[in-house]
Amino acid sequence: MTEMRPVTDATASQADAPKKMALPDAQTVTQVTHWTDRLFSFRVTRPASLRFRSGEFVMIGLMGDPNPDTGKQKPLLRAYSIASPSWDEELEFYSIKVQDGPLTSKLQHIQPGDEIILRPKPVGTLVHDALLPGKRIWFFATGTGFAPFASLLRDPQTFEDYDEIVITHTCREAGELEYGAALIESLKHDELLNEVIGEGFWKKIRYYPTTTREESPKMGRITDLMRSGAAFEDLGVAPLNPETDRAMICGNLAFNLELKEMLEEYGLEEGANSDPKHYVVEKAFLD
């Protein structure tokens, strides 16, 4: 999830790498991977009591800089989709690095052994419970919006509920597709998932990566590629139909709104936990 909802006004200090902090709700960083100069993922310990549904998010962060007058520090928190599956013993997150972003300017410097704050209250709309039964599910992502789908693509329920899973990922540059591409490739060799879900479960996945600002095998915004029909032709599937298709959307705000409008044109209706329907949109940064 991108950094969009400031919780405090604390000023960023790039030099301040996180240290051991004796934080409330502290979790320890176990692994950090830098994918590009704009993107990184990291893993942290999981609170023993934390249960979540694939696709949900939690608030995570660091302590902000001390108030110059009082010396007091406030937590600086953002909503982050959990990218790891609900059965994993650790938690994984996928983040953008905003050089002047209050949180990510610091968070990008975390190292294994550092602590972050993690409020153990998962919530979210991108959950299977919010959708009616269907045959095919579409996961539409841009940028770090891939994160909830990294969780859902490792959830046995996704493969039990649907015959086909289409994941589209639109990014500016080819390097930004790597986290998702590596994850999908890893499913083929994941012995545990192949055993639990069924040998070759990953063959149900249709992966459709596109770039908009750098040459790659498939160029263009997914919205444009759907409007022209190219996406359906490339994938060899019919356009979305409320009888058979379900969808989840997670990307930047303009993308979410544009795609939501398109899905409504196909006749799909927005669902919620309390009222399951045909599609859902990430709400974390629309509040």
Q: How far is the CB of 261 from ligand A2P (least distance, A)?
A: 10
| DSSP annotation of 130 | G
35 and 179 in contact (C-beta within 8 Å)? yes
Using CA atoms, how far apart are residues 93 and 259, in angstroms rounded to an integer? 24
End-to-end CA distance of the chain: 14
Among 255, 268, 280, 281, binds ligand A2P (CB under 6 A): 255
3 state DSSP class of 144 = helix
Using CA atoms, how far apart are residues 109 and 162, in angstroms rounded to an integer? 39
Residues 134-163 that bind ligand A2P (CB under 6 A): 142-143
283 near ligand A2P, judged by CB under 6 A: no
Q: Quote the distance between the C-alpha of residue 262 and its chain's center.
A: 21
Q: How far is the CB of 210 from ligand A2P (least distance, A)?
A: 8
Q: Write down the residue that tokens 């709700």 correspond to.
A: 25
Q: How far is the CB of 229 from ligand A2P (least distance, A)?
A: 16
Q: How far is the CB of 1 from ligand A2P (least distance, A)?
A: 11
Q: How far is the CB of 205 from ligand A2P (least distance, A)?
A: 21
Specify the amino acid at residue 119: R
Among 132, 182, 196, 254, binds ligand A2P (CB under 6 A): 254
Site string for ligand A2P, 165-194 (x = CB under 6 A): -----xxx----------------------
Q: Quote the distance between the C-alpha of residue 149 and its chain's center.
A: 6
Q: How far is the CB of 124 from ligand A2P (least distance, A)?
A: 19
Among 36, 212, 241, 244, binds ligand A2P (CB under 6 A): 212
Among 29, 124, 223, 271, binds ligand A2P (CB under 6 A): 223
Nearest to 63 by CA among 101, 100, 97, 21: 21
Using CA atoms, how far apart are residues 149 and 185, in angstroms rounded to an integer? 14
Q: Provide the binding-site residues for ligand A2P, judged by CB under 6 A.
A: 142-143, 170-172, 212-213, 221, 223, 251-252, 254-255, 258
